[in-house]
């Protein structure tokens, strides 16, 4: 049952479990596109995407103090790093914000200008891969990518990012600082907003594939049966070797 913005389980009216939090805005603030994470202090981190040409911000919430801290925006971070290009836009932080074993928070910012899924046109300004250490209050730039880096995940040493179009998988080694990539492939402009990783340093990328079936007749009602969608989870090891593709039935 709901009382205002506090949600309580039925039968336990005096123990709130869930409450709605009003996020402070900024000029051009749009939405949180799944860009969430938490650190080992229990603080919640999220990326608030901008609109128009307004850049995305990195925001922290301390649940004990009930306090928000805005840690700046992606364009200002590019300027601080000395790599800003005149007119560059980074309106979204779409990826999860992942804390790795080194204590840094890893995430990606991205642009959407001019992108086109049908033609495969990449966003004009591409993406940037960042890390942020809460104690240092500083965005550190790791690498730029021409694709839109929409998903980030990682465990232990290796953190992964997935970019569109074509599902390009990036791996960043937190021990050596080396970044590598491999093209997984994607059909029909499909993108995934999530990928999976495990403690072995493996990454699992969702992928769709279309199979053309032999038409059974000229009946328009069976035309949709001429093409079948296959959904798979593609596994890569820490050396980016493809291990297997597992069909995801249903």
**201 Cβ contact list (under 8 Å, min separation 6):** 155, 156, 157, 158, 237, 238
Asked if omega into 176 is within 30° of 0 (cis), the reply is: no
pLDDT of residue 224: 54
Rounded to two decimals, the pTM is: 0.88
Residue that the structure tokens 């007119």 belong to: 87
Cβ proximity of 56 and 74 under 8 Å = yes
Q: Tens digit of pLDDT for each residue in 165-206?
A: 999 999 999 999 999 999 999 888 899 999 999 999 999 999
Cα 184 from chain centroid (whole Å): 17
pLDDT of residue 2: 40
Distance separating alpha carbons of residues 53 and 32, to the nearest angstrom: 16
pLDDT of residue 141: 98
Question: 81: helix, coil or strand?
Answer: helix
Distance separating alpha carbons of residues 95 and 58, to the nearest angstrom: 12
The candidate with the shortest Cα–Cα distance to 183, out of 130, 116, 242, is 242
Residue 92 burial class via C-beta count within 10 angstroms: exposed 0-12, middle 13-18, buried 19 and up: buried
- DSSP codes of every residue in 201-230: S-EEEEEEEEEEPPP--S-GGGGGGGEEEE
pLDDT of residue 3: 41
User: Which stretches in the chain have pLDDT values below 70?
Assistant: 1-16, 214-225
pLDDT of residue 16: 62
Distance separating alpha carbons of residues 155 and 98, to the nearest angstrom: 9
Question: 247: helix, coil or strand?
Answer: strand
Residue that the structure tokens 């992964």 belong to: 160
The candidate with the shortest Cα–Cα distance to 126, out of 156, 165, 155, 98, is 165
């Amino acid at each position: 049952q709901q009382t205002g913005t506090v949600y309580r389980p039925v039968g336990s009216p005096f123990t709130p479990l869930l409450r709605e939090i009003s996020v402070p805005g900024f000029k051009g603030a749009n939405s949180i596109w799944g860009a969430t994470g938490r650190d080992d202090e229990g603080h919640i981190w999220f990326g608030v995407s901008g609109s128009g040409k307004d850049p995305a911000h990195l925001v922290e919430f301390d649940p004990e103090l009930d306090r928000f801290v805005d840690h700046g925006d992606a364009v200002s971070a590019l300027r601080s790093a000395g790599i800003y290009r005149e007119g560059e836009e980074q309106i979204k932080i779409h990826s999860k914000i992942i804390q790795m074993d080194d204590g840094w928070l890893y995430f990606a910012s991205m642009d959407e200008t001019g992108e086109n899924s049908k033609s495969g046109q990449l966003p004009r300004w591409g993406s940037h891969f960042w890390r942020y250490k809460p104690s240092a209050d500083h965005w550190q730039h790791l690498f730029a990518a021409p694709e839109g880096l929409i998903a980030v995940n990682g465990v232990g040493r290796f953190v992964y990012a997935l970019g569109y179009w074509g599902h390009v998988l990036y791996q960043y080694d937190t021990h050596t600082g080396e970044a590598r990539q491999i093209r997984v492939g994607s059909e029909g402009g499909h993108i995934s907003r999530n990928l999976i990783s495990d403690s072995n340093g493996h990454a699992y990328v969702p992928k769709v594939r279309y199979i053309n079936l032999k038409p059974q007749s000229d009946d328009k009602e069976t035309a949709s049966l001429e093409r079948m969608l296959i959904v798979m989870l593609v596994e890569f090891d820490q050396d980016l070797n493809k291990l297997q593709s597992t069909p995801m039935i249903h």
